[in-house]
Amino acid sequence: MRKVCFLDLDGVLVDFVSGALALHGVTLPRSEVRWNFLTQIGFDGINDPRFWSPMGHDFWANLPWTAEGPLVLLAVERLYGADNVALMTSPCDTPGSVEGKLSWVCRELPAYRRRLFVGPAKHLAAGPGKVLVDDHDANVDKFCAAGGSALLVPRPWNRRRGETDSEGRFCVERFAADLEPLRY
């Protein structure tokens, strides 16, 4: 069976954290960023509309790549074949989020503009032959529980934070070695 790999955007290819911190004019060392970092910078939890509401189309469309993003994409394409790779991203509720993400993909990865899946329930795409690469503990756990395979990208905001360096970065070669057995 040819396996399909779903690749997350925010926190994997796209540097949402840096963009969000810059938008709100705050600094936080990357190595100290946790999943619910909104509370670390003065917001009232993950659903605080004051954090999300300024994030319209242009915010999502203009986010930078993560440092490892290009190499992660290359590694995934080498292992699975580019035709078997798709992007899978969860939007926020703010108007413009979905369109902004599409704009980002159209500009940065035009070959993927018709292989972009947008929705928070990633586990509903799980099953035999399906692999998810994601930076959120819960997404990985749910995808595996639903019958797929998944690889958690090490980030300071997930349980693999011990594998990140002082700048919150991880070793892409090790990532590729972890991903390799999942394609069988």
**Residues at the contact surface with Mg ion, assessed by CB under 5 A:** 8, 10-11, 135
Compare residues 47 and 83 and give the one whose CB is closer to Mg ion.
47
CB of 134 to Mg ion, least distance (A): 6
Burial class, 143, CB count within 10 angstroms (exposed 0-12 / middle 13-18 / buried 19+): buried
Map tokens 């930078």 to a residue.
64
The secondary element (H helix, E strand) that includes residue 89 is: strand 85-89
Compare residues 30 and 128 and give the one whose CB is closer to Mg ion.
30
CB of 129 to Mg ion, least distance (A): 22
3-state secondary structure 35-63: CCCCHHHCCCCCCCHHHHCCCCHHHHHCC
Compare residues 66 and 128 and give the one whose CB is closer to Mg ion.
66
β-pair partners for 87: 7, 116
Q: Where are the alpha helices (DSSP H) in 53-96?
A: 57-61, 69-80
Compare residues 4 and 11 and give the one whose CB is closer to Mg ion.
11
CB of 90 to Mg ion, least distance (A): 7
Q: Which residue is nearest to Mg ion (CB)?
A: 11
CB of 11 to Mg ion, least distance (A): 4
